[in-house]
Structure 1
């Protein structure tokens, strides 16, 4: 399978490396020092599942140089979607598809609006990985799971084949006929813990038992549950208590990725998190006061980070 990894950071770099190691023809789209290191020294992966080194690798900062792809693994941050999504149609081969991997619930439809729903697969990903240094990916979680599905809810041979390719490469790969439900269930967790943690700016063990803060967390989850229902996505009846229980069992020093971005001064995916909850809530007349508060508190932090990065 010909694969183009569009966004070769912690997620794209790691999963793309696994596919390349498994024998697929992978082109990495990257930029800056990370790109130069990959061109010069290949891609080094340090993982709890075993280290490996790809050399040479095909890497470019010009997506159009990639051969026509059977699969585009679209792994840019959500705030980079507007500036990159228009390039996707040119990357696809005759039967190629784009697989979204972003946090949140809006990316699949943003991509489908450009390449067509028939050439879009939605993906939900669970992994902890990052660029440790240019040309080096550090993968730190026991879990490395990807669930893929068609936007129309069919369980198709192509979704199963792509899930199988990931599984054969070493991950937990799964195809589902309920990808919207999977995405919203993950969203209920990541947008709530990421939002509250980013406002509190303490590890989860310092705030999950504080009654007022715990109530804010649960309210944030209930708002997402209500917005999902308004969008026509029915989550499991115990989605909120199950997610609360999962958070209660996290290591006390755990932090969400958006909180780590706040602390590092990086731009935030706040528009795709609480911002999306607020926008969709307004569309359907669903009150979202917890996420409105989180969004109002974190948007200036995001804007300051964009200014420092020279983006805004």
Structure 2
């Protein structure tokens, strides 16, 4: 593995090797889930979500950060919010684009993963549960 990492770095790629696959995946999902769920639910870019739906964003970030920490990731709601506040306001999620054209949503892979992990760790995540349910209902109406 070290030789492969060295080759990638020599090619100019930034490489980080992590021993804990679960924590690495949760680092990504902790941003992706609220981003995808909220932009899709509100049919808005991330700038509108963080400006017009900030209380909901904060609640969902708190919930998902708690689940991610329980799964072993060193994620904080503050860190997630900082990332949300730095990304371009016009950024839209692929789930949102899928919803706009009537394609199937990766709702179970993204939102469902958070719901299952929350349940497995005994963490209440009512705002996230509501978002996933609303999106599932919307997807049924489109299908």
Assess same fold via TM > 0.5. yes
TM interval, short-chain normalised:
0.7 to 0.9
CA contact (8 A) 1:193 1:256 kept: yes
Could you tell me how far 1:207 is from its partner in structure 2? 2.8
Deviations 1:104-163 (A, max 9, x none): xxxxxxxxxxxxxxxxxxxxxxxxxxxxxxxxxxxxxxxxxxxxxxxxxxxxx3xx4454
Partners of 1:257 and 1:163 in 2: CA distance? 30
TM-score (norm 2): 0.82
Corresponding position of 2:61: 221
- Return the structure number with greater helix share: 2
Corresponding position of 1:278: 115
1:256-275 equivalences under 5 Å are 256-275=93-112
Structure scoring higher RCO (CA < 8 A, sep ≥ 6) equals 2
Partners of 1:183 and 1:192 in 2: CA distance? 15
Extract unaligned runs of 5+ from structure 2: none
CA contact (8 A) 1:275 1:291 kept: no
Number of corresponding residues:
143
Q: Which structure is larger by alpha-carbon Rg, 1 or 2? A: 1
- Return the structure number with greater strand share: 1
Extract unaligned runs of 5+ from structure 1: 1-156, 308-312
Deviations 1:222-272 (A, max 9, x none): 2122223333x0414xx3212212211222211122112211221111112
Could you tell me how far 1:284 is from its partner in structure 2? 2.5
Partners of 1:272 and 1:165 in 2: CA distance? 32
CA contact (8 A) 2:39 2:45 kept: yes
Cα separation, partners in 2 of 1:165 and 1:220, compared to 1, 3 Å: farther
Q: Secondary structure at the match of 1:294?
A: helix
TM-score (norm 1): 0.41
